[in-house]
Amino acid sequence: MEPITSLNDPLEPLDEQETEEIRSERSRVYPLATIVFLLVAVLLVQLYRLQIVQGQDFREQADNNRFRLVTVAAPRGVIYDRRREVLARNRPSYSVGVIPADLPTGNARDEVYARLAGILGLSVAQIRQDVQADPSNQFSFIPLKDNVPQTTAFELEERHLELPGVHVQPRAIREYTLGAITAPILGYVGRISDQQYQRLKDDPVHRYSRADSIGQAGIEYTFESQLRGSPGQEQMEVDATGREVRSLGVTPATPGRNLVLTIDAGLQREVASALSEGLDRYGVAAAVVLDPRNGQVLALVSLPSYDDNLFAAGISQADYEKLLQDDRHPLLNQAIAAAYPPGATFQVVTALAGLETGEISPSTKIDCPGFISVPNRYDPTVLTRLLDVKAFGEQDVKSALADSCNVFFYEVGGGDPNGTRNGLGIDTLSRFARMLGLGEPTGIDLIGESGGLVPTVRWKRQTLDQEWVPMDTYEAAVGQGYITVTPLQMANLVATIANGGTLYRPQLVLQTLDVQGNVVTDFKPDVIRKLPIKPENFAIVREGMIDALRTGVTDQGTSYTGIARAAAIPDLTAGAVVGSPPFGTPDKNGDFPTHAWFVGFAPAEQPRIAFAIFLGRGSGPEDASRIARQIFTYFKSHSQE
């Protein structure tokens, strides 16, 4: 073969045409290369931003899409009565909601809302509002409807592919075993409000979320911190639809404390049953039973009431409106939050004040002709007649209490119109009333308590811009006029008389227990004050109250026919005073409707119960005495338990 020699030949110079072609090719390549370079530079910058600048954020989002840290709710504490009967417990249910991060976007999200609204009976607008309430909370469960039926929950789970982002979670809801009977005591739990959440969101122990339910009334509200417990956490891996693939670890929740109340569930049922029998006529009714030895609340009933299970399960707007529009106000706790004139039950205050100040003595006798005539302060010839129930004749303090003789206490409080006795005056009456716990809240562990009203000269001048007149004092001495009290205050007052002068703060909780049943806290009786009243004066008033349930003659020789005899039962000595103050407008005969009060204790020798009964509309002392008889009967039959 011949060798190739062309490689050794010198290169021939390019002609002009070839040079131009090369330049043309280069002019086309350079812009393309520049574009490629710029694209690569942009890609590198974007990669830097994604991986370096925003890398941590995207890693967190990726982890959140794959891994979830879910709150494990703490079981709420159980509530028992004093004999360990369950009053409030937790029962399983289903809650339907969404996790916003798992929802599709755009029109697909609206389609999910529409399907979900049709299944749950909600509006699309309401669902959208709930989901958008907290835009920063994209990976937490937002409940839309609680206490969903099991069939609905299963249907949603079966259709989860067409409902991305929708989740069904098991959820414990509160169950109140006695319902309306204990609602005024226990209250209820409900969804946390925005205001409550803002106040509690930084609590490091209970760690509240917007999806939580908390105590809204009663014991559930007052002891929220003990009942709630501390939630736990579970870390899990989820799939593309947000459903759990596997659990990666659990920090268990700490259950809330259990509460043992002072309430006797059997007595609570009995009192509620007795009050319910005539409720259509009474309109409203309330009763409070205390242990005078320590201030423990054995029963507290307010009627009409409401079923607190409605609130725990998520009350409908229609049911809530019905409660609000009821003119008997079932949501108002009549036992602690409503104040009424005490009527003749206030005579025990006037009696104690008269004895302690020396205005009267056990031997003081006053003639009771059935009325007292009070002269007008501007024209003494003009008389105002204050009527009594009847003419009782001569009365001492015991027989006056037994007969409920108003004339006796008119003169003790306001003086003899003829000038032979000055009377206590309103300032002294008010001082003793306050000493006995009237005119201020008792401090019971329930919200919404009223302090009632104990009027004074200054109060009338500042509030009504009027001067105090003698007629005001006469009315106050027998529990009428401006003075008002709650059934709880009157129960506490009679408990103080029964135990000889120790005023306790009414106690509702005996103990807190841990989940194993061990006692964590024992609640002790709380003494408000010891009254500076002589024991013998308390004894005289108790004897007058005991005589109210029988007939006879006092040691001063005055006869009595006890006004509360209808409440007496064999083999149980008890004491009481009754009252029937008028209110409202008179009928066509000029007669006013009356409330009915019964305030009593038993047994007389060593009192173990003290109680007050109030009826919104009662026929004299008869209705309240009949109910008191049922309470005495129940107490006697169960006193050995």
| pLDDT for position 232 | 81
Quick one: tokens of 603? 């047994």
Q: Can you tell me the distance from the alpha carbon of 558 to that of 392, in angstroms, rounded to the nearest whole number?
A: 10
| pLDDT for position 59 | 55
Residue 252's φ and ψ, nearest 5 degrees, are -65, 150
Pairing relationship of beta strands 86-98 and 526-530 according to DSSP bridges: unpaired
Q: What is the pTM of this model?
A: 0.84
Quote the radius of gyration of the chain (alpha carbons, Å): 39
| Distance from chain centroid for Cα 244 | 39
User: What residues in the chain have per-residue pLDDT under 50?
Assistant: none
Q: Can you tell me the distance from the alpha carbon of 81 to that of 262, in angstroms, rounded to the nearest whole number?
A: 6
Neighbours of 246 (CB within 10 A): 7
Domain with CATH 3.40.710.10 in the chain: 266-638
Query: Is 566 in a helix, a strand, or coil?
Result: helix
| pLDDT for position 133 | 76
Task: Using alpha carbons, select from 546, 552, 582 the residue that is nearest to residue 564.
Answer: 546
Residue 289's φ and ψ, nearest 5 degrees, are -115, 125
| pLDDT for position 20 | 67
Quick one: tokens of 134? 């907290």
In Å, what is the CA distance from 262 to each residue of 291, 295, 378, 400? 10, 10, 55, 35
Task: Using alpha carbons, select from 603, 625, 523 the residue that is nearest to residue 297.
Answer: 523
Residue type for position 639 = S
Query: Is 563 in a helix, a strand, or coil?
Result: coil
Q: Can you tell me the distance from the alpha carbon of 187 to that of 220, in angstroms, rounded to the nearest whole number?
A: 6
Quick one: tokens of 440? 């201020």
| pLDDT for position 474 | 94
Q: Can you tell me the distance from the alpha carbon of 342 to that of 177, in angstroms, rounded to the nearest whole number?
A: 34
Quick one: tokens of 324? 């609000």
The answer for 134, left when phi > 0, alpha when psi is -120 to 50, beta otherwise, is beta
Strands (DSSP E) found in 292-354? 296-303
**b/e map 174-197, b = 16+ CB within 10 Å:** bbbbbebbbbbbbbbbbbbeeebb
Query: Is 86 in a helix, a strand, or coil?
Result: strand
Domain with CATH 3.90.1310.10 in the chain: 72-157+170-232+249-261
The CATH superfamily assigned to 266-638 is DD-peptidase/beta-lactamase superfamily (3.40.710.10)
Neighbours of 574 (CB within 10 A): 26
| pLDDT for position 590 | 76
Burial of 353 (0-12, 13-18, 19+ CB in 10 A): buried
- Of the CA atoms within 13 Å of residue 126, those in its CB half-sphere come to 11
Quick one: tokens of 503? 């005023």
**b/e map 576-607, b = 16+ CB within 10 Å:** bbbbbbeeeeeeeeeeebbbbbbbbbbbbeeb
| Distance from chain centroid for Cα 184 | 7
Q: Which CATH class is domain 72-157+170-232+249-261?
A: alpha beta
Task: Say if residues 342 and 485 touch (Cβ distance below 8 Å).
Answer: yes
